[in-house]
Amino acid sequence: MRFAKSGDDDFIQQINHHKFHGFVHSTFNRTLNIQCLDSGDLYTIACKGIDNAPNTLIIDLEDFEEADIRVNDLVSSDHSVLSITNKMSITIEGIKNWTCILPEYPSVADVLEMNLSTMKQYIKLHGNNSRIERAFKSGNPFDDEMSRMLHERTQLLVSELQNKRMATAIIHAASLIGLGPGLTPAGDDFLVGLFTVFNIENHQYFSHHSFCEEVVLHAKALTNDISYMALAKAAAGQVRETIIDLMEALFRGSEEELICSLRRVLAIGSTSGTDIALGIIAGLEMNM
Let me know: does 35 contact 23? Beta carbons within 8 Å. Answer: yes
Structural domains of the chain, count: 2
- CA–CA separation, 12 and 54 (whole Å): 11
Same domain, 8 and 132: no
Same domain, 79 and 133: no
What number is the average pLDDT over the span 19-32?
Answer: 95
Digit-coded pLDDT (tens) for 204-223: 888 888 899 999 999 999 99
Same domain, 84 and 114: no
* pTM metric for this prediction: 0.94
Percent of the chain with pLDDT over 90: 81
Digit-coded pLDDT (tens) for 132-145: 776 566 677 878 88
Handedness of CA 121, 127, 130, 134 (dihedral sign): positive
Same domain, 175 and 46: no
By CB atoms closer than 10 A (0-12, 13-18, 19+), residue 38 is exposed
Percent of the chain with pLDDT over 70: 98
Handedness of CA 106, 111, 113, 119 (dihedral sign): negative
Q: Please report the pLDDT score of residue 134 as a whole number.
A: 65
Digit-coded pLDDT (tens) for 243-268: 999 999 999 999 999 999 999 999 99
The answer as to whether 105 is a domain residue is no
Same domain, 35 and 130: no
